[in-house]
Amino acid sequence: MSTENSNQPISLFKFRAGNDNDLDALHQDYIWFPSCASLNDPFEGMAFIDSSNIDSRLYQKFRDKFNEKCKETSGRHRCDDHLDDKEFVHQWFKAYVEAWRQKTAIFSASKAYSVAGYRLTPEHVLGSMALWGHYADGLRGYCIEYNFEQLEKSLKDHNPERGIGSSGVEYSNTLRPILSLKTYIEDYVSGDRINTVTEIQKTFTTKHKSTWHHEQEARLFAAGKDGKCEFDSSCIRAVYLGEKMSDEKKRSIKACLDAKPVKIDLCEVSIDKLGREYQLRIGNYSG
């Protein structure tokens, strides 16, 4: 998976509700990567399949290559013999995309620069009432700020078998991303699927602008099914507690951070009750 991103942001902000699983991950220094298939956007990975500019000879090349590989492995999908070449390719393309969806995990977070000052503008993700409301239980949860570059490196170092990579998210108000069936056939016949994988990954990094743009998202990908990926706690810049979180849980998180070998800032985000604007403010949390 591609990891090149010249515009990589300084920080990732991940909002958490503060349930037992969230707190365990904070204590044990791991991130849970859910499978692509379990993400909350109903259009997640739903690309438009472009079947143009494919002649019968190209469909036949795919089937010939497929049969050649089956003979090499002493297996043959005879149940597909009733399909013509075009139907055969479409079936296997859908199966390939679904397998990628099931065997790839994604960690999503909001990208932004570190906060300066105590007043949070709604334009900064940490000042987003929508994000605090949707993902942090209406200021009853918390938000973790990671150093993006350090986090990706640490995840790669601790989980080399997962093939960790990152990508920003593009937002579009018009058309869904395209998956080219012709590209898939050509990649399959040549034995190099890099172009197809790149296109599939793009379908998971393109979202509807009006619905999701406020999240300002970046994503980390991991090969394999959903699961834990460990990292070094030095990747955490700060933890921001929602003001409505219980005092007991706030003290528990403070004790957790105090026990780590690195200093992590602990702050509290609250509603700015002195001003008339819809605005949040930030302050240090001492407990």
Instruction: Quick: pLDDT tens for 102-128.
Output: 899 999 999 998 776 666 777 789 999
| Residue with more model confidence, 272 or 229 | 229
Q: Is the pLDDT of residue 262 over 90?
A: yes
pLDDT at 159 over 60: yes
Report the range of poorest mean pLDDT among 30-34, 75-79, 99-103, 202-206: 75-79
What is the rounded CA–CA span in Å between residue 109 and residue 39?
13
pLDDT of 245: 97
pTM: 0.85
For 119, counting Cβ atoms within 10 Å of its Cβ (0-12 exposed, 13-18 middle, 19+ buried), the class is middle
pLDDT of residue 50: 94
Structural domain range at position 37 = 11-284
Q: Quick one: pLDDT at residue 5?
A: 41
User: What burial class does residue 192 get, using C-beta atoms within 10 Å of its C-beta: 0-12 exposed, 13-18 middle, 19+ buried?
Assistant: exposed
Domain count across the chain = 1
CA separation for the pair 117, 284 (Å, rounded)? 11
Residues 6+ apart with CB under 8 A from 20: none
In a domain, 54, yes or no: yes
What is the phi-psi region of residue 74: left when phi exceeds 0, alpha when psi lies from -120 to 50, beta otherwise? left
* Nearest Cα residue to 178 out of 36, 53, 39: 53
Residue 3 falls inside a structural domain: no
What's the mean per-residue pLDDT of the chain? 89
Q: How confident is the model at residue 146 (pLDDT cuts 50, 70, 90)?
A: very high
**8-state DSSP, 114:** P
Please report whether residue 2 resides in a domain. no
Q: Tell me, what's the pLDDT at 4? A: 38
pLDDT at 71: 78
Residue 142: inside a domain, yes or no? yes
List the alpha helices (DSSP H) in 215-287.
Answer: 247-258
Instruction: Return the SS3 of 256.
Output: helix
CA distance 135 to 80: 45
**5 domain residue, yes or no:** no
Ranking 34-48, 99-113, 155-169 by mean pLDDT, the lowest is 34-48
> How far apart, in whole angstroms, are the C-alpha atoms of residue 148 and residue 112?
10
In the prediction, which pLDDT does 118 show?
63
Question: What proportion of the chain, given as a percentage, has pLDDT over 90?
Answer: 64
The dihedrals phi and psi of 51, each to the nearest 5 degrees, come to -105, 20
Tokens standing for residue 81: 């013999």
Q: How confident is the model at residue 76 (pLDDT cuts 50, 70, 90)?
A: low
